[in-house]
Amino acid sequence: MARQRKLSPERKAFVQGLLEHYKPETAQDVQDMLKDLLGDTLQGLLEAELDDELGYSKYDYSNKDTENSRNGYSKKKVVSSMGEIGLDIPRDRNGEFEPQIVKKHQTDVSNIEDQVLSMYAKGMTTRDISEHLKSVYGVDASAEMISKMTDRILPIAKEWQNRPLDRKYAIVFMDAIHYNVRQDNAIVKKAVYIAIGIKLNGSKEVLGMWVGGNESAKYWLGILNEIKNRGVEDIMIISVDGLTGFGDAIHAVYPNTEIQRCIVHQIRYSTKFISYKDIKAFMRDLKEVYQALTEEIALQELDALEEKWGSKYPSSIASWRNNWPTLATYFKYPAEIRRIIYTTNSMENFNRQLRKVTKAKTIFPTDDALFKMLYLAMTDITKKWEGKPWNWVQILEQLFIYFEGRITQEDLY
């Protein structure tokens, strides 16, 4: 049975007031209502700008300290994402007033909403944005109105989530980040599953972000199947954390893909067992394992590590032995490829930036609210993703050889 949507008393009163005033009967009526609200907000911002220019508000002549004054209005029509809006542009008698929120000759105001979306993408809450508009322009734009403006991004975000992907990817990083979401009158910790891919041309993109339950190999299997259904025929290497069953899920969809378990995650896990007084000495010896030039040397150093520390910290050594097939994948490749795949640093940097944006929200009211903010943050973060991994041309030449027959010249276009 579907859950009834819960509204706070304030939000309910706000919505009820809108319904009583506009009496919408169709979806188009609702769209017209939102367009009207946007027009009223822009009109209020224009009036506030002229108040600031003249130094006194309308009819407040006691505070007037200028020879200049209001001089009526000029009609103007502008285009927004909700349709055409009619505005009355206030004028001053001296002709000095230059409105900023809707500038002279400006006929498209969709960027106003873009400014709101940009603030939202940088982690400002709807209440923060509302207060910002109030302090800058002296106009009340309720948090509910701001939320409606940001809600228009949801269809775009979901279209992005379902877009076709490239046929082949050189490397894909997969990891999850966790958030608290309200569900059925309870606070539930949910995993957001994220996949970032490096294309064969060296550019990087977020393949998708999925809000799900607790992190599990079964959920990842569903995501991998979705990625395949969106057009990804082959992935050369996937770099992942140490989630149990992750490798089996990957090979169930992409049987020929190489799996690299994140060395940094493995180090963190294995050092949990080490006493503080031994940690420096243990790490010094462990470094000889994962920084070895070849797998043969690495295994020799692992034997030495076990001989020295195995009796005292058997669980730590066992974790390296048991996971060695996926930990040692990077030894097959030259230094340029090793630097990219041996850790999920690219993913962790991305997650760190997401956390920075979302830190003001300890609890999200819905999955859609969480996804909306993450999508806007992602678009803001990825604007800076212009470069390629260092020496990508040489890396690609080596990938052609290592994955002979799986990458062709046609795949690069």
Q: Which residue has the higher pLDDT, 240 or 121?
A: 240
| Confidence at residue 7, expressed as pLDDT on a 0 to 100 scale | 61
- Is the pLDDT confidence value at 111 over 90? no
Letter string b/e over residues 138-169, b meaning 16 or more CB atoms within 10 A of that residue's CB: ebebbbbbbbbbbeebeeebeeebeeebbebb
Q: What is the mean pLDDT of residues 294-300?
A: 96
Q: 278 is written with which tokens?
A: 């031994």
Q: What is the mean pLDDT of residues 115-139?
A: 67
- Is the pLDDT confidence value at 197 over 80? yes
193 phi and psi angles, rounded to 5 deg: -85, 130
- For residues 355 and 361, give the distance between their C-alpha atoms in angstroms, rounded to a whole number: 10
- Is the pLDDT confidence value at 358 over 50? yes
Element (H, E) at 193: strand 186-199
Give the tens place of pLDDT for each residue, 212-269: 988 888 999 999 999 999 999 999 999 998 788 899 999 999 999 999 999 988 999 8
**With bands split at pLDDT 50, 70 and 90, how would you rate the model's confidence at 1?**
very low
| Confidence at residue 61, expressed as pLDDT on a 0 to 100 scale | 64
| Confidence at residue 132, expressed as pLDDT on a 0 to 100 scale | 67
Q: Which of the 8 DSSP states describes residue 102?
A: S
Beta-carbon contacts of 392 under 8 Å, excluding residues fewer than 6 positions away, are: 202
**With bands split at pLDDT 50, 70 and 90, how would you rate the model's confidence at 4?**
low
Distances (CA, A) of 325 to 138, 293, 306, 331, 342: 63, 17, 17, 11, 13
- Is the pLDDT confidence value at 137 over 50? no
In the numeric block, the tokens 């003249």 are attached to 54
Q: What is the mean pLDDT of residues 183-208?
A: 93
| Confidence at residue 121, expressed as pLDDT on a 0 to 100 scale | 65
Give the tens place of pLDDT for each residue, 73-89: 999 888 777 777 889 99
User: 234-240 and 168-183: which strand pairing?
Assistant: parallel
Percent of the chain, pLDDT > 90?
43
In the numeric block, the tokens 């300890």 are attached to 362
Q: 225 is written with which tokens?
A: 């199947």
- The residue type of 235 is I
| Confidence at residue 363, expressed as pLDDT on a 0 to 100 scale | 87
**With bands split at pLDDT 50, 70 and 90, how would you rate the model's confidence at 63?**
low
Least confident range of 60-69, 107-116, 137-146, 224-233: 137-146
**With bands split at pLDDT 50, 70 and 90, how would you rate the model's confidence at 6?**
low
**With bands split at pLDDT 50, 70 and 90, how would you rate the model's confidence at 13?**
confident
Please count the other Cβ atoms lying within 10 Å of the Cβ belonging to residue 1. Answer: 3
Q: What angle do CA 105, 383, 395 make, to 5 degrees?
A: 145
Question: Residues 207, 193: contact at Cβ < 8 Å?
Answer: no
**With bands split at pLDDT 50, 70 and 90, how would you rate the model's confidence at 289?**
very high
Cα-based torsion angle of the residue sequence 269, 273, 275, 276 in order, rounded to the nearest 10 degrees: 20
Question: Residues 182, 367: contact at Cβ < 8 Å?
Answer: no
Q: What is the mean pLDDT of residues 173-191?
A: 92
Helices (runs of H) and strands (runs of E) counted in the chain: 17, 7
**With bands split at pLDDT 50, 70 and 90, how would you rate the model's confidence at 8?**
low
Least confident range of 139-143, 203-207, 295-299: 139-143
Average pLDDT over all residues of the chain: 85
295 phi and psi angles, rounded to 5 deg: -65, -35
* Of 271, 220, 213, 211, residue with least CA distance to 243: 220
- Is the pLDDT confidence value at 284 over 90? yes
Q: 166 is written with which tokens?
A: 């490239």
| Confidence at residue 57, expressed as pLDDT on a 0 to 100 scale | 73
Longest pairwise C-alpha distance within the chain = 91
